[in-house]
Amino acid sequence: PTLTRFFALHFLLPFVIVGLTLVHLTFLHETGSNNPTGVPSDCDKIPFHPYYTIKDILGFVLMLSLLVSLALFAPNLLGDPENFTPANPLVTPPHIKPEWYFLFAYAILRSIPNKLGGVLALAASILVLFLMPLLHTSKLRSMTFRPLSQILFWTLVANVLILTWVGSQPVEHP
């Protein structure tokens, strides 16, 4: 049952992401862009609909055609040769690692020996990102004149990079 849920999540998640992207593009095309400096300049805004809709459709068609041609003409081009070795169901192979964008969370997960604590820390590390829009209450959308926000942002970037590097290293017991 766990593998079935895991497969269902990984099968459905790309469709959810595509749906949310389409909703985002729809709202972006309807309302236009915002101004990061906070200065009202409605006369300078370019209406999105005719130009950017065609640009987005063209980009989508090009990306889809490249992806379909890769999948149909060279399906093993991006594959790993180690995936063709016979599997031992009792041991996870050493080349199985999470994707690079999950490595920071993987480092947090394996740093806590308790399973429940690791899962809670992993969930908290991702859910804390949802607090960012709630903490940003200023009308000024830019960080140019906010040095404390710049320091906090670059500290977050440094933490994620270090955790990503740690997550990519092999596990060694202390």
CA–CA distance, 120 with 111 (Å, rounded to integer): 12
Identify whether 154 is part of a domain: yes
Query: pLDDT class for 20, splitting at 50, 70, 90?
Result: very high
9-31 average pLDDT score: 86
CATH number at residue 110: 1.10.287.980
pLDDT value of residue 38? 64
155-174 average pLDDT score: 88
Q: Which of 55-59, 90-94, 139-143, 148-152 has the lowest mean pLDDT?
A: 139-143
Q: What is the DSSP letter of 129?
A: G
CA–CA distance, 6 with 75 (Å, rounded to integer): 23
CA–CA distance, 151 with 165 (Å, rounded to integer): 21
| Model pLDDT for residues 32-84, shown as the tens digit of each residue | 666 666 666 666 666 666 777 888 889 999 999 999 999 999 988 888 777 78
The per-residue pLDDT of the chain, averaged, comes to 83
The position carrying tokens 């949310």 is 20
Identify whether 32 is part of a domain: no
Identify whether 125 is part of a domain: yes
Is the distance from CB of 171 to CB of 107 less than 8 angstroms?
A: no
Identify whether 163 is part of a domain: yes
Q: What is the DSSP letter of 76?
A: T
CA–CA distance, 65 with 86 (Å, rounded to integer): 33
Identify whether 101 is part of a domain: yes
pLDDT value of residue 17? 95
Q: Which of 40-49, 95-104, 116-125, 157-166 has the lowest mean pLDDT?
A: 40-49
| Model pLDDT for residues 89-104, shown as the tens digit of each residue | 887 777 777 888 888 9
Identify whether 66 is part of a domain: no
**pLDDT surpasses 80 at 141:** no
Identify whether 172 is part of a domain: yes
Residues carrying an active site annotation: 29, 33, 55-56, 99
Is the distance from CB of 48 to CB of 29 less than 8 angstroms?
A: yes
Identify whether 52 is part of a domain: no
Q: Which domain holds residue 126?
A: 88-174
What's the structural domain count of the chain? 1
pLDDT value of residue 47? 66
Question: Is the pLDDT higher at 23 or at 91?
Answer: 23
pLDDT value of residue 32? 65
pLDDT value of residue 41? 64
